[in-house]
Amino acid sequence: MSQSTEITSMASGSPDRLTGLRTFWHYFSVNRGAVIGLFVFILLVLAALFAPLLAPYAPDVQDKTAFLRPPAWQAGGSTQYLLGTDPVGRDILSRLLYGARFSLLIGAVVVTLALTGGITLGLLAGYFRGWVDVAIMRVMDLILAFPSLLLALVLVTILGPGLFNAMLAIALVLQPHFARLVRAAVMAEKSREYVVAAKVAGAGHIRLMLATILPNCLAPLIVQATLSFSNAILEAAALGFLGLGAQPPTPEWGTMLASAREFILRAWWVVTFPGLAILITVLAINLIGDGLRDALDPKLRRS
Amino acid sequence: MLKYILNRIALLIPTLVGITICAFAFVRLLPGDPILAMAGEHGVAPARYEELKEQFGYNLPIWQQYIRYVGEVATGDFGVAISSKRPVLEEFKTLFPATMELSFFALVFAMVLGIPAGIVAAVKRGSWFDQSLMGTALVGYSMPIFWWGLLLIIFFSGYLGWTPVSGRIGLQFFFKPITGFMTIDTLLYGKWDAFRSALSHLVLPAIVLGTIPLAVIARQTRSAMLEVLGEDYVRTARAKGLSPSRVIGMHALRNALIPVVTTIGLQVGTLLAGAILTETIFAWPGIGKWMVDSIFKRDYVVVQSGLLLIALIVMAVNLIVDLLYAVINPRIRAS
């Protein structure tokens, strides 16, 4: 959010960061959904941070006397296991709390990788144009020519299954969106007066790209980063579900769903809760994304 | 128009080359020896290994291998599946109609609900209907569809017992496919009970696969409609005293649907990616499940050719959508 401050304060020409932040919050808080999303997201971050304190059990502890125990409010359940247990007697609530760590980690790592790659390539393509531009953007088009999940699957097949490789694959698949955005923004900004002025004042290529142009392209990037954050969580869960992402016994939500599949008609809770956790997380982030779009970029503001 | 079409096709050539390079590189990027990788878990005798190396041209320089590969693909030779020993293209042809049928019904589901909902939301902007629809659309957009499928199975198949859990049609029905579309074939044979069975197998997967496109289409229709409703010609039509339904139906809708057509076209990638998950959950015998199964069977010939064929389909559909767009929107042709 400090980045957004820069944009607003730069736009108004005022150096006062607090005013910018206040303007941002004013627009952001108009969107009730976005505020709810932010609240849920903060709760999730807290759950992830304090999982060892909050969770009643360790995520991999098995109770051999309590296989597939239903949740507390259903007949046969007890408050010992609030959301019930899985087929090998692990507490579902504890696993979900620890799982929040993986989902947020996935989102953060994927977005960081995709953002770094996309900004670098987009800046180079938009700033230098010519064959650099053609070469970079053709490769980006190519990545976008494949359905994202299919490409991620194939990449994981090459790299080998696992959480880290899944994150790499997803970052690669999401990265062209950033490159395209940055390229378009750089091309639009490049001929503006402030850039020309900086050039005349003797700024080098690197300085022009990173210090002069980039900060003014940030608004759409932040919105895209939010969308990619939730996309990354969904895709990583899908890979986990297919058995190619995080490997059991990791309490990653998609992986939890995969091992629960055969019990769907016998024990609804082992399937329902991990998926609900994914949905709530993704929804919260998408709500924040909508609010950010409204607050940061008047051009993208939804009618 | 002809110039536009040719230009548009010429732009595809680099992508086409890129796609073949990706498919070509895939087998060679796999860890270990490509022939051993393709041979799978059983391994291969040393004499046979040399023979295969010769046969696949792995002894040639890499660029000659690529040219050879493109030549094979261009003549329709996509290799032979390791696990089934059948030509990959033949397998693809039998499985692809299943994915087509599923995607078609998913898209129909998404359009039939999404377009009217988007129109009503735009016309009654800010109403409770608009707000709850946009809320629901965001939930749909955020849905992990593999979980959504499992939930629907729990409720409709497990709890209510209305629909079957998996497959395309009841096991008691067997007939030679004509079109490969179960719903059409059963009708062509005049078997009503088989048709009903096919339809009941289709409902849940189509809903699951159509959920994200539904959310996207509803949102897109709404915003396109809102934009058009603010235009001068709509105001003029209103000022002329036309009835609201005529203004919306005749003047606004026709223009609002132009961007919606593009959105629908762009859903093809989403549908094919979604088919991977949906088909896996419902044991639907289409190309998505085929790809996942092949990855686990280490049948890399299938994965390689499947990747290529799916990318070609997405490319072809995008081209068709672009051309359609140019037909309905003359401004595009000029630029």
pLDDT digits (tens, 9 = 90+) for A9-57: 444 444 566 777 888 888 888 888 899 999 999 999 999 999 999 988 8
Cβ–Cβ contacts within 10 Å for residue A52, how many? Answer: 11
Q: Is the pLDDT of residue A8 over 70?
A: no
Instruction: Check residue B101 and give its pLDDT.
Output: 94
Q: What is the pLDDT of residue A124?
A: 93
pLDDT for A5:
42
Residues of A with CB under 8 A from a CB of B: 33, 138-139, 141-142, 145-150, 153-154, 157-158, 160, 230, 234, 237-238, 241-244, 254, 257, 261, 264-265, 268, 271-272, 274-276, 278-279, 282-283, 286-287, 290, 302-303
> What angle do the packed helices A163-190 and A130-145 form, to 10 degrees?
140
pLDDT at A102 over 90: yes
> Is B224 exposed, middle or buried, given 0-12, 13-18 or 19+ CB atoms closer than 10 A?
buried
Q: Which two tokens stand for residue A299?
A: 């051009």
- Which residue from A minimizes the CA distance to B17? A142
With an 8 Å Cβ cutoff, are B158 and A244 in contact? no
Of all residues in chain A, the one with the smallest CA distance to B27 is A158
Average pLDDT over residues A176-204: 88
Average pLDDT of chain B is 87
Does B147 contact A146 at a Cβ distance shorter than 8 Å?
Answer: no
The model's pLDDT over B123-165, given as tens digits with 9 standing for 90+, comes to: 898 899 999 999 999 999 999 999 999 999 999 988 898 988 8
- Of the candidate ranges A4-8, A177-181, A198-202, A267-271, the one whose mean pLDDT is the lowest: A4-8
Q: Residue A242 is encoded by which pair of tokens? A: 């297919």
pLDDT > 90: percent of chain B = 39
**Distance from the B191 Cα atom to the nearest Cα atom in chain A, whole angstroms:** 31
Beta bridge partners of B192: none
Name every residue whose Cβ is closer than 8 Å to that of residue B211 and which is 6 or more positions away in sequence.
Answer: B110, B140, B143, B145, B148
CB contact under 8 A, B150 and A149: no
Among A274, A286, A303, the residue with its CB nearest the CB of B142 is A286
* pLDDT at site A16: 61
Asked if B223's CB is within 8 angstroms of A271's CB, the reply is no
* pLDDT grade for A282, boundaries at 50, 70 and 90: very high
Query: Which DSSP letter does residue B320 get?
Result: H
Q: Is any Cβ of chain A less than 8 angstroms from the Cβ of B150?
A: yes
Considering only CB atoms, which chain A residues are within 8 Å of B19? 142, 145-146
Of A145, A148, A279, the CB nearest to B143: A279
pLDDT of B108 higher than 90: yes
Crossing angle, helix B192-229 and helix B253-282, to 10 degrees?
A: 140
What pTM was computed for the model?
A: 0.88
Contact B273 A150 (CB under 8 A): yes
What's the pLDDT at A220? 85
Q: What is d(CA B271, CA A243) in angstroms, rounded to the nearest whole number? A: 21
Name the one residue in this structure whose structure tokens are 């059983």. B42
B15, closest residue in chain A (CA to CA): A142
Q: How far apart are CA B38 and CA B35, in angstroms?
A: 5
A214 DSSP assignment: G
Q: State the best of B15, B128, B142 to mutate against chain A, taking most chain A CBs within 10 Å.
A: B142
- Can you tell me the distance from the alpha carbon of B128 to that of B135, in angstroms, rounded to the nearest whole number? 10
Q: Do B139 and A279 touch (CB under 8 A)?
A: yes
| The pLDDT value given to residue A17 | 66
Given a contact cutoff of 8 angstroms between Cβ atoms, the answer to whether B20 and B308 are in contact is yes
User: What average pLDDT score do residues B289-299 get?
Assistant: 91
Half-sphere exposure of A125 (CA within 13 A, CB side): 23
Cβ separation A139–B148 shorter than 8 A: no
Name the residue in chain A with its Cα closest to that of B287. A150
Cβ contact A158–B30 (<8 Å): yes
Mean pLDDT of A190-197: 85
Residue B98 to residue B86: CA distance in whole angstroms: 18
pLDDT at A297: 67
Interface contact flag, B154 A261, Cβ < 8 Å: no
Mean pLDDT (chain A) is 87
CA distances from B49 to A258, B8, B29, B243, B302 (A): 37, 44, 19, 77, 20
Are B102 and B279 in contact by the 8 Å Cβ rule? The answer is: yes
How many C-beta neighbours within 10 Å does residue B120 have? 19
Look up residue B56 and give its DSSP letter: H
Say if residue B34's pLDDT is above 80: no
Chain segment B37-87, per-residue pLDDT in tens: 666 666 778 888 888 777 777 778 888 889 988 998 889 888 888 888 899
| Residue A110, amino acid | V
Residue B144 touches partner A, C-beta closer than 8 Å? yes
Handedness of CA B148, B149, B151, B152 (dihedral sign): positive
Which of B106, B84, B165, B169 shows the shortest CA–CA distance to A264? B165
DSSP state, residue A91: B
Counting one residue from A and one from B, how many pairs have CB atoms under 8 Å apart? 132
Q: Is B283 on the interface with A (CB under 8 A)?
A: no
ipTM of the prediction: 0.88
The vertex-A193 CA angle with A191 and A194, nearest 5°, equals 110
DSSP letter at B181 equals: -
In three-state secondary structure terms, B87 is strand
Residue A303's pLDDT band, with cuts at 50, 70 and 90, is: very low
Q: Shortest Cα distance from A261 to chain B (angstroms)?
A: 8
